[in-house]
Structure 1
Amino acid sequence: MLTGELDAYLYSLYPADSVYALDIASLLHPDVLFAVARDAAGAPLGCGAVVIKPAYGEIKRVYVRPQARGQGLARRLMESLEAGAVQRGCCAIMLETGPAQPEALALYKRMGYGTCGPFGDYPDDPHSVFMTKPADQMDTQVG
């Protein structure tokens, strides 16, 4: 399962109290959009979610299996999640990731995300990098 692979990866990089993952039950909430990228045979290759909040959408659980990386799947997942959030009225997208994930940080920067301080219920954690992007910088025609 993709989320299990992501959890194992995150727990290999960060202390448990610095992993802010949504559990499976939370992904089923009506205010969560969950996307899965699949290969031609239907096998899951990557996933991501956005939690729709009153003030912003929060990107969560973005993961692409190692064998499928380098094909633009993470970017396409992100674009789809951004478009869904904007279509539901979000004025900005926020995310929390970690400093030990340089590929993710590079993708988010290329997509126009800038660093910001902690938001929502997040503590100021040295294992966290907080980023944001305003809705007017997103392509809402995706997905």
Structure 2
Amino acid sequence: MSTSIGVTKDAVYITFEAADQPDVLALIAELDVYQHTLYPPASVYALDLVSVQQEQLLLAVARDAQGVALGCGALLLTASYGELKRMYVSPGQRGRGIATSILVTLENAAKKSDCRQLMLETGTLQPQAQSLYAQAGYSVCAAFGGYPEDAYSVFMQKRLDEAA
């Protein structure tokens, strides 16, 4: 599955890909470094995408026309809901609509998988991420799944069957 968005004079393509590619792993490593500059280790809830069963995981990767990985986001499908994980756009690529396009791509994939509710955990020190999700219709909710209540966490949800 591939989605193409034109964000400036350069096209950006979003496709579902395997997580074990070197450039995707490098992007995730960037995200991990960033997270650890903001939060104590116990408050970073990173998911090792490579260890997840492929039928449970959809990884959307945004690439430019030259194939350079610019951003990514994952959808982890559970029996009860889908969880958004590992949403990240390289700092030099932000402000181009890439994160929104990845989010829409993941939401559409969730709908096709008959997933009707999306959940996520983001950090209190990431107002841009919180704003992205709020603008997309996500609302703050209680901790879910195996997450503890955490002073650094913001939990959000969106019902897909109620979305316009």
Q: TM-score range by the shorter chain?
A: over 0.9
Instruction: Report whether the alignment pairs 1:63 with 2:88.
Output: yes
- Looking at structure 1, the residues matched to 53 and 66 of structure 2 have their Cα atoms a distance apart, in angstroms, of 25
Instruction: Report whether the alignment pairs 1:129 with 2:159.
Output: no
- Looking at structure 2, the residues matched to 45 and 91 of structure 1 have their Cα atoms a distance apart, in angstroms, of 28
Question: Aligned to 1:25, which of 46, 50, 53?
Answer: 50
Amino acid at match of 2:115: C
**TM-score (norm: length of structure 2):** 0.81
Unaligned runs of 5+ in 1: none
Runs of 4+ in 1 over 6 A off after TM superposition: none
Percent identity of paired positions between Structure 1 and Structure 2: 49
- Looking at structure 2, the residues matched to 28 and 52 of structure 1 have their Cα atoms a distance apart, in angstroms, of 10
CA displacement at 1:89 relative to structure 2: 1.3
Kept in 2: contact 1:83–1:138 (CA 8 A):
no
Greater gyration radius: 2
Unaligned runs of 5+ in 2: 1-25
More strand by share: 2
After superposition, the C-alpha distances for 1:5-53 in whole angstroms (9 at most, x for unaligned) are: 0000001100111111111423553210001000110100000001001
**TM-score (norm: length of structure 1):** 0.93
Amino acid at match of 1:84: A
Kept in 2: contact 1:49–1:61 (CA 8 A):
yes
- Looking at structure 2, the residues matched to 110 and 137 of structure 1 have their Cα atoms a distance apart, in angstroms, of 15
After superposition, the C-alpha distances for 1:56-104 in whole angstroms (9 at most, x for unaligned) are: 1000000000111001000000011111111111111000000100110
Secondary structure in 1 aligned to 2:55?
coil
Q: Indicate the larger mover: 87-96 or 20-29.
A: 20-29
Kept in 2: contact 1:47–1:77 (CA 8 A):
yes
Cα-Cα RMSD? 1.3
